[in-house]
Structure 1
Amino acid sequence: MNVSRNSGGMGIIYFAWHGKAQEKAEIKGRLRDNWRLFADKVLDEGKPAGVNGVSRLWMRDDLFVCFALPQERHDRQEERLLEIGSDLQLDWEPRFMDAAFGGHVPELRLHTGVSFLDGGIDSEEERLYDGIKRAIVHGQSNDAAIRSLKRKALEHILDERLIQSVYQPIIALQPSVDALFGYEALSRLTDSRWFDGPLGMFQFADEEGLTYALDRLAREKAIEGSAGLADGRKLFINITAKIMNDPTFSPGQTLLLLQKYGLSPHHVVFEITERTSIEDFEAAKRILQHYRNQGYQIAIDDAGAGYSSLQSIVELKPDFIKIDRSLIRGIHLDSMKAHLVRTFADLAAKMDIKLIAEGIEEHEELNHIRSLGVQYAQGFLLGRPAPFPV
């Protein structure tokens, strides 16, 4: 492999097959007989778009492709390198499997890893060797190039505060006339290229150890966007259970932000999702009591769909329970769902907790949950998420 320095930058992409399927002699044999022929043919037919000076190096069945990148900012070069690696992996993996095996092979994946060649190393041999090592390390995890791109995208979202808040009405169910009680703040992405909606973004942030930062940004944007919330109305802000371990999750910082936008803790209900379990209830109770002392209220979200709904209700004694839409959908046609919601209503009444039914989409659902003693409701029937009304 000849490595030239007369370009904006040099990159390496590493390709190697991983997976338990290779333990089968037939799979291993077909890989050995076909993989190099396939990759060489594809590369001979045309270089990846946007690169020059493509060369390749084989180490047994592992392929290293080296090429020159255009002269541009380093961060854009890095993004381009990751995009090329990701695009080739997504293109080559199914094409090779179809050609060599006649279709998808479970537990067999084409891994890719990327690296820049270090311009600070004088020896061309050492420079290449160092780049190969770093590409191999990067490619050990599945979908490494895609994950790196998503990580960069998430960091960009955090740095540039690229989240928008929308607000879904929560309606108080009066005996005769329904009235606006408050809003749930929901996060939306300005660019959905890398994440399948906000939930996918938050799941990825959790995997990457960025939950605290993303949750904090979403909380701040929710407050910033709701300036002018009338007295007596509530702003429901989602937080994950684990966020209570965040050392920066302090009532002081949230209070200053609320005051900046003319709000107070009495406007805010922290909505704890039930899709992640609470591991230390004693610690959670201490933290939440500290918030209650400031005037905030607490809601348990997704009740009926999480891991420990009843325990969370009994231990944390929330001010509100939000009944998951899975129990509300078609409740007027399902006696078991109605019985479960009635059980929630009886428990809530004994504990002085208010119920909010989520996901109301039909008038029959609304009428039925009202008859079961549910005090509040939200859903598309009552109002879709939208920018805060001015």
Structure 2
Amino acid sequence: MTVTRETNQMGIIYFAWQGKAIEQEDVKVKLDAKWRRFAEQVMTEQNAVSATGLSKLWMRDDLFVCLALPPSRFRSPEEELLTLGSRLKLDWEERFMAAEFGGAIPELKLHAGVSFLNGSILSEEERLYDGIKRAIIHGQPTGATERSLKRRALEHILMERLIHPVYQPIISLQCGTEAAYGYEALSRLPDRRWFDGPLQLFDFASEEGLTYSLDRLARERAIEGSAGLSAGQKLFINITAKIMNDPSFTTGRTMLLLEQYGLSPHHVVFEITERSSIEDFGAAKKILQHYRTQGYQIAIDDAGAGYSSLQSIVELEPDYIKIDRSLIHGIHQDSMKAHLVQTFTELAAKMGISLVAEGIEVESELRYIKSIGVHYAQGYLLGRPQPSIA
């Protein structure tokens, strides 16, 4: 592999097969006999249809592809290299596995990693060695190029504040008229290129250690878009249990933002989502008490869906319990669900807690939960999420 010093950035893409299946003799024989020939052929095809200009270096069965990346108006060099590495990896893996094994083998994956050649290293040999080493390190985890692209997408969302809120009404059932008691703010993404929806985005942020930043952005965007909320209505905002470990969570930033938009803490209910369990109830209670003294209220979301719903209710003494859709769906036809929700109703009455039934989709569900004394309801039957508060 010859590396020339050009104005274009020079990158390396590393490809290597990894997985327990390599220990199987028949798999190893096919890899040894066919992989190099396959890679040489597809690289020839790639060079025939692209001006990228790929050159190669083999180290045993590991392939290092070197290429020059011309300037692009649409992508940074890093994103361009990651995108190309991801595309080639997915394409080559699928084609090779189909041709030689008749389809994918779960314990055999083509790994890809990327790096740029460091222009500050004077020796071309050292420059190439350094780039190869960094590409190998980057490519060790499965799906490294795709993960790096998702990380960049998440950072872009945070930097450009690309989350936009929608608002779903929560209807009062016990005041004679089915009026909007409040609205739950839900986060939406600008597109689904990297994440299927908010849940996948928040899960990935948790894996990358960016839960606090994403949660704060969602909270701020929910408040910023809440124009139209009347004096007596509530704004339900989701927070994850982990966010309560964030040292910046109690700095008063939320209070300042509310004042900016003509709201007060009395408008806000923090929904503690059950996506992750609370590890330290003592610390959580202290933080929540700090918020309660300012006028905020607390809800336990997704009650009945798992994790630590009952313990959360007992330890945190919420103002609201939101009963998960899984218990509401078909409740009028399911005696077990009916008994469980009735138990929630009795518990809430004794503890002075309000109940919200989530996911109401048919009139029969609505009539039933109203008949047993559930205070509030939310679901497509009562109103779909909208970009603004009506």
> How high is the TM-score relative to the length of structure 1?
0.97
Which of 42-51 and 105-114 deviates more?
Answer: 42-51
User: Which AA in structure 2 matches 1:82?
Assistant: L
Write the distance in 2 (CA, Å) between the matches of 1:169 and 1:37: 61
Match of 1:170 in 2: 170
Q: CA deviation at 1:51?
A: 4.8
Change (3 A) 1:29 1:256: same
Question: Does the CA contact (< 8 Å) of 1:53 and 1:67 recur in 2?
Answer: yes
User: Which AA in structure 1 matches 2:335?
Assistant: S
Question: Does the CA contact (< 8 Å) of 1:171 and 1:376 recur in 2?
Answer: yes
Match of 2:186 in 1: 186
Q: CA deviation at 1:100?
A: 1.4
Question: Does the CA contact (< 8 Å) of 1:51 and 1:68 recur in 2?
Answer: no
Question: Does the CA contact (< 8 Å) of 1:111 and 1:140 recur in 2?
Answer: yes
User: Which AA in structure 1 matches 2:296?
Assistant: Y
Cα displacement string for residues 158-197 of structure 1 (whole angstroms, at most 9, x for unaligned residues): 1111110000000000364211100000001112211111
Q: 1:133-212 counterparts in 2 under 5 A?
A: 133-174=133-174, 176-212=176-212
Match of 2:332 in 1: 332
Match of 1:271 in 2: 271
Q: CA deviation at 1:386?
A: 0.6
The question of 1:100 aligning with 2:125 is answered no
Question: Does the CA contact (< 8 Å) of 1:227 and 1:263 recur in 2?
Answer: no
Q: CA deviation at 1:114?
A: 0.3
Change (3 A) 1:304 1:142: same
Match of 1:284 in 2: 284
Cα displacement string for residues 48-102 of structure 1 (whole angstroms, at most 9, x for unaligned residues): 9765231001101100010111124796111010000111111111211111111
User: Which AA in structure 2 matches 1:206?
Assistant: S
Q: CA deviation at 1:7?
A: 4.0
Residue segments in structure 2 that go unaligned for 5+ positions in a row: none
Figure out how many residues of one structure are paired with residues of the other and give that number.
Answer: 390
Write the distance in 2 (CA, Å) between the matches of 1:131 and 1:251: 43
Question: Does the CA contact (< 8 Å) of 1:251 and 1:294 recur in 2?
Answer: no
The question of 1:123 aligning with 2:123 is answered yes
Question: Does the CA contact (< 8 Å) of 2:82 and 2:148 recur in 1?
Answer: yes
Write the distance in 2 (CA, Å) between the matches of 1:78 and 1:49: 22
Cα RMSD (Å) of the superposition? 1.5
Cα displacement string for residues 304-343 of structure 1 (whole angstroms, at most 9, x for unaligned residues): 1121111110010000000111111111111111111111
Determine what percentage of the aligned residue pairs are the same residue: 71
**Moved runs in structure 1, 4+ residues, more than 2 A?**
46-53, 71-75
Q: CA deviation at 1:122?
A: 1.6
Write the distance in 1 (CA, Å) between the matches of 2:227 and 2:74: 40
Question: Does the CA contact (< 8 Å) of 2:183 and 2:389 recur in 1?
Answer: no
Q: CA deviation at 1:252?
A: 1.2
Question: Does the CA contact (< 8 Å) of 2:11 and 2:69 recur in 1?
Answer: yes
Question: Does the CA contact (< 8 Å) of 1:228 and 1:262 recur in 2?
Answer: no
Q: CA deviation at 1:4?
A: 1.8
Match of 1:88 in 2: 88
Q: 1:9-20 counterparts in 2 under 5 A?
A: 9-20=9-20
Q: CA deviation at 1:34?
A: 1.3
Change (3 A) 1:251 1:329: farther
User: Which AA in structure 2 matches 1:12?
Assistant: I
Residue segments in structure 1 that go unaligned for 5+ positions in a row: none
Q: CA deviation at 1:274?
A: 1.2
Change (3 A) 1:311 1:254: same
For the residue of structure 2 that corresponds to 1:227, the secondary structure is: coil
Cα displacement string for residues 7-35 of structure 1 (whole angstroms, at most 9, x for unaligned residues): 41111100011111112222122211111
Match of 1:260 in 2: 260
Q: CA deviation at 1:115?
A: 0.5
Match of 1:341 in 2: 341
For the residue of structure 1 that corresponds to 2:76, the secondary structure is: helix
Write the distance in 2 (CA, Å) between the matches of 1:102 and 1:50: 28
Write the distance in 2 (CA, Å) between the matches of 1:47 and 1:354: 66
For the residue of structure 1 that corresponds to 2:248, the secondary structure is: coil
Match of 2:322 in 1: 322
